[in-house]
Amino acid sequence: MFTGIIESLGEVIGIEKDQENIIFEISSPISHELKIDQSLSHNGVCLTVTEINENKHKVTAILETLRKSNLGDWEVGAKVNLERSMPMDGRFDGHIVQGHVDQIGECVSVKEEGGSWFYTFEYDKSQGNVTVEKGSICINGVSLTVVNSSENQFSVAIIPYTYEHTNFHKIEMGTKVNLEFDIVGKYLQKMFSNYQESLSNGK
């Protein structure tokens, strides 16, 4: 489990195809502190560390992960948000993040306003995911609060620290991002959908 508080930025330095999987080599300031088999969030995607070499580590993304995230679009030089799993004795500064991306979103607007940035993202509403104002959303592994929410769009406000210390400074109109919706909201949405289905079936 993660909290959405990014520890470090990594950089993709190697990409290798392995049948339908992709092996990524990442360089980062925390790579030397990792362990084999450790879970590490990469842009919000929980991946297992398979190899460590000083300030570099490798992870493998399987086909299912590539289908649901933007990892298949990564190129050498891409900046990646990294977070290790939360220690049980740590502070919970973000929100519950599982590292299981629900779907890809697209940035449709970026506005700078007095030293902060407002990003608007659009997503496919047919998958049943929802946001609410003042609720939580995880974008590329970053825990954020929803500012504005509509049927298939939402906005977030980014402070200078987050802008500089995550890959948000690389996001522009048209950029695809990984979205993990709030787990509580997903459970409520599922319960409501089941209730509506039972009413329509006369149960």
Is residue 13 in some structural domain?
yes
- 60 and 12, same domain (yes or no): yes
- Is residue 34 in some structural domain? yes
Which band of pLDDT confidence, cut at 50, 70 and 90, is reported for residue 92? low
Q: How many CB atoms lie within 10 A of CB 110?
A: 15
Strand (E) or helix (H) holding 200: helix 183-200
77 & 155 share domain:
no
Pairing relationship of beta strands 116-122 and 153-158 according to DSSP bridges: antiparallel
CATH number for position 36:
2.40.30.20
Confidence label for 96 from pLDDT (cuts 50, 70 and 90): confident
Percentage, residues of the chain above pLDDT 70: 91
Tokens of 12: 């993709």
Percent of the chain exceeding pLDDT 90 equals: 77
For residue 55 the two structure tokens come to 């300030």
Query: How many structural domains compose the chain?
Result: 2
What pTM, to 2 d.p., does this model score? 0.87
The pair of three-digit structure tokens given for residue 185, joined into one six-digit string: 């909201």
pLDDT of residue 95: 79
Amino acid 116: pLDDT: 93
Q: What share of the chain is helix, strand, coil (3-state, %, to 5)?
A: 20, 45, 35
CA distance 187 to 185: 5
| Mean pLDDT across 8-23 | 97
Q: Higher-confidence residue: 87 or 142?
A: 142
Element spanning 65, H or E: helix 63-68
Domain assignment of residue 147, given as a range: 103-195
Beta strands in 44-131 (DSSP E): 45-53, 56-61, 79-84, 103-113, 116-122
Pair type for strands 103-113 and 136-139: unpaired
| Residue 95 within a domain | no
What phi-psi label fits residue 163: left (phi over 0), alpha (psi between -120 and 50 degrees) or beta?
A: alpha
* 111 and 68, same domain (yes or no): no
- Cα–Cα distances in angstroms (integers) from residue 159 to residues 43, 84, 117, in the given order: 18, 22, 7
Q: Tens digits of per-residue pLDDT, 159-199?
A: 999 999 999 999 999 999 999 998 776 667 767 676 567 76
Residue 164 phi/psi, 5-degree rounding, is: -80, -30
Q: Are residues 177 and 140 in the same domain?
A: yes
* Structure letter (DSSP) for residue 167: G
State mean pLDDT over 43-51: 97
